[in-house]
């Protein structure tokens, strides 16, 4: 692709091209109340074998970004107004629908946040799992069934053989989530986008599922984008972290630096909100104020109405992603002060 060569430098060897790179992505929704700007310039990248954790306020555009990458955003009302999504250096947004379809599902798979509504309620779970093998790999009904049982076993659904004919509503929330995970893993993709894959799981199953993901990741050198609210899971598995607020990345960092020394006031507030033992019976710390109305995002730094460190400049100037050391970045005018105290 000529476009990408110009940007990354023509001499760049293939091996340094990230598996997936999102550049300056903007997505908006047209609603009766105005234009909701859900994603406002997201940049992130994942390499093969790497895990990127995307954190952020609920409603900050994590899922919308993921849906855009997968090409499953509802358009309308959604609209991609700007940006590129490079998979192996090729922009998926300018590809033909045919090319994109080949990537979707087979090379990039997604585990959805809403397990129940992503499964068809009138088809049995076994049928839906088997369909993937029949459609993509041309297996016979019988082979597909055997393969589905194997997958269900792999994500630790007890008595997979007996329950393969059951319908989604007959499984518990956590089991449905594991079925979704099984579907995503079925075709051994190069990249998995997992949107809160373990939210509905208890810690022991969560540990098993994360181990399973890690194992497959090593085995197939898979990239993983992990969207989650669980800072514990992030600390456990992520290589790097991107923190989102109001549709932008406000902080990026390798995993070990961020917990001890956050460089953005939002991240700092988030970390402070984790319940600690000595707070029993007291109020938990919570970032004050309401999440921004996306049809009217505050000017300057979008976080300024809620930021304890805000100064006048924050209301007028949009902070760029300042480099913090070699590998980190923070979109805050006062990152030095934030990291320092």
List interacting residues with ligand ATP (CB under 6 A). Answer: 29, 31, 36, 38, 56, 58-64, 77, 113, 169-175, 200, 294
Looking only at residues 278 through 307 of this chain, which bind ligand SF4 when binding is defined by CB under 6 A?
301, 303-304, 307
Check residue 155 for interaction with ligand SF4 (CB under 6 A).
Answer: no
- Burial code (b: 16+ CB inside 10 Å, e: under 16) for 177-197 equals bbbbbbbbbbeebbbbbbbbb
Cβ neighbours of residue 289 closer than 8 Å, sequence gap 6 or more: 305, 306
In the complex with ligand SF4, the residue whose CB is nearer, 63 or 253, is 253
Check residue 44 for interaction with ligand SF4 (CB under 6 A).
Answer: no
Q: Which does 226 bind (CB under 5 to 8 A by kind): other proteins, ligand ATP, Mg ion, none?
A: none
Residue 21 has, within 13 A of its CA and on its CB side, a CA count of 14
Q: Coil, strand, or helix at residue 330?
A: strand
Q: How far is the CB of 314 from ligand SF4 (least distance, A)?
A: 3
Q: How far is the CB of 36 from ligand ATP (least distance, A)?
A: 4
Q: Determine which residue in the list 319, 324, 329, 339 makes contact with ligand SF4, applying CB under 6 A.
A: 319
Q: Determine which residue in the list 314, 321, 324, 339 makes contact with ligand SF4, applying CB under 6 A.
A: 314
Q: How far is Cα 179 from Cα 199, in angstroms, rounded to an integer?
A: 14
Residue 290 tokens read as: 């309401």
Q: Which does 55 bind (CB under 5 to 8 A by kind): other proteins, Mg ion, ligand SF4, none?
A: other proteins
In the complex with ligand SF4, the residue whose CB is nearer, 3 or 315, is 315
**77 preceded by a cis bond (ω within 30 of 0):** yes
Pairing label, strands 34-46, 78-87: unpaired
Residue 101 has, within 13 A of its CA and on its CB side, a CA count of 4
Residue 334 has, within 13 A of its CA and on its CB side, a CA count of 18
- Which residue from 205, 210, 215 is spatially nearest to 174, judged by alpha carbons? 205
Question: Residue 29 pairs with which residues in a beta bridge?
Answer: 36, 78
The dihedrals phi and psi of 281, each to the nearest 5 degrees, come to 85, -5
Check residue 63 for interaction with Mg ion (CB under 5 A).
Answer: yes
In the complex with other proteins, the residue whose CB is nearer, 28 or 190, is 28
Q: Which does 309 bind (CB under 5 to 8 A by kind): ligand SF4, other proteins, ligand ATP, none?
A: ligand SF4
- Using alpha carbons, list the distances in angstroms from residue 52 to 64, 165, 283: 16, 35, 32
In the complex with ligand SF4, the residue whose CB is nearer, 64 or 307, is 307
In the complex with other proteins, the residue whose CB is nearer, 108 or 201, is 201
Q: Coil, strand, or helix at residue 146?
A: helix
Check residue 173 for interaction with Mg ion (CB under 5 A).
Answer: yes
Check residue 332 for interaction with ligand SF4 (CB under 6 A).
Answer: yes
Check residue 334 for interaction with ligand SF4 (CB under 6 A).
Answer: yes
Q: Which residues bind ligand SF4 (CB under 6 A)?
A: 264-265, 301, 303-304, 307, 309-310, 314, 319, 332-334
Q: Which residues bind Mg ion (CB under 5 A)?
A: 63, 113, 173
């Amino acid at each position: 692709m000529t476009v990408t060569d110009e940007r990354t430098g023509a001499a760049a060897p293939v091996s340094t091209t990230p598996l997936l790179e999102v550049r300056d992505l903007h997505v908006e929704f047209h609603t009766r109340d105005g234009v909701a700007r859900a994603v406002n310039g997201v940049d992130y990248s994942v390499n093969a074998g790497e895990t990127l954790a995307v954190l952020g306020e609920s409603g900050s555009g994590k899922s919308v970004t993921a849906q855009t990458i997968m090409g499953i955003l509802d358009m309308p009302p959604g609209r991609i107004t700007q940006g590129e999504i490079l998979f192996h250096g090729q922009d998926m947004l300018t590809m033909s629908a045919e090319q994109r379809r080949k990537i979707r599902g087979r090379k990039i798979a997604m585990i959805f946040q809403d397990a129940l509504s992503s499964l068809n309620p009138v088809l049995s779970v076994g049928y839906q799992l088997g369909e993937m093998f029949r459609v993509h790999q041309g297996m016979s009904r019988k082979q597909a069934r055997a393969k589905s049982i194997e997958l269900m076993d792999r994500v630790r659904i007890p008595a997979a053989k007996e329950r393969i004919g059951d319908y989604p509503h007959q499984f518990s929330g956590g089991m449905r989530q594991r079925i979704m995970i099984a579907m995503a893993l079925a075709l051994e993709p190069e990249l998995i986008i997992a949107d809160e894959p373990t939210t509905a799981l208890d810690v022991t199953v969560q540990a098993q599922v994360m181990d399973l993901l890690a194992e497959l990741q090593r085995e197939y050198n898979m990239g993983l984008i992990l969207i989650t609210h669980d800072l514990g899971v992030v600390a456990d598995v992520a290589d790097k972290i991107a923190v989102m607020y109001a549709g932008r990345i406000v902080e990026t960092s390798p995993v070990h630096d961020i917990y001890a020394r956050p460089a953005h006031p939002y991240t700092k507030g988030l970390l402070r909100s984790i319940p600690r033992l000595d707070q029993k019976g007291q109020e938990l710390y919570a970032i004050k104020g309401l999440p921004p109305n996306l049809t009217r995002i505050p000017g300057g730094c979008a976080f300024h109405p809620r930021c304890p460190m805000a100064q006048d400049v924050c209301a007028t100037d949009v902070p760029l992603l300042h480099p913090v050391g070699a590998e980190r970045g923070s979109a805050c005018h006062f990152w030095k002060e934030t990291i320092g105290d």
